[in-house]
Amino acid sequence: MNFEQLQAFASSSPMLSLALVGLTLAIIVTEIARLFRGYKALRPAELTGLINRDNALVVDLSASADFEKGHIAGSRNIAPSQFDPENKVVAAARQLPIVVVCRNGQASAAAAKRLKKAGFEQVYWLDGGVAAWQQADLPLVKGR
């Protein structure tokens, strides 16, 4: 497609052209905001490296029953209703990398945002949660 064809399309389909420009701008703004949010999404392999290399604290926001059914080895369980940056488990690890995990990645992203706002420097969340961990064929520990 050359420039003349693009101009012809834009003049014959102004609504589609505006929609394309709007969607493009929305994607750009979203990606820029993601770069500056201060916390990073991790894939399961990246989390494994962070745990092994930097002794990261993994906080699992799953309900107790779900945590007992299976969790990442070494993770600490804090119920979402009890999660607070001043929680003794979290506050004691202020200098360590902290990774927040939940079952699907939704609650952990919001918790990571709270930690960053509270002044934690090394904040991460597991994108896709425990489900992504399992999908990567990584082991879960049962029980407490």
- Please write the tens of the pLDDT for every residue from 63-111: 999 999 999 999 999 988 888 888 888 888 888 899 999 988 788 888 9
CB-based contact 57:99 (threshold 8 Å): yes
Please tell me the distance from the alpha carbon of residue 75 to that of residue 124, in angstroms, as a whole number. 14
Whether 142 is in a domain gets the answer: no
Instruction: Based on the fold, state whether residues 115 and 48 are members of the same structural domain.
Output: yes
pLDDT at 35: 66
In a domain, 144, yes or no: no
CATH number at residue 108: 3.40.250.10
Domain identity same for 29 and 43: no
47 CB neighbour count, 10 Å cutoff: 24
Domain extent at residue 12: 3-35
Q: Answer yes or no: 93 catalytic.
A: no
Indicate whether 52 and 123 sit together in one domain: yes
Give the model's pLDDT for residue 34: 66
The verdict on 26 and 47 lying in the same domain is no
Residue 78 is predicted with a pLDDT of: 92
> Catalytic one among 102, 107, 112, 126?
102
The token duo for 23 is 């969607």
Reported confidence tier of residue 59, pLDDT bands at 50, 70, 90 = very high
Same domain flag for 67 and 103: yes
Considering only CA atoms, which of 143, 114, 88 is closest in space to residue 78? 88
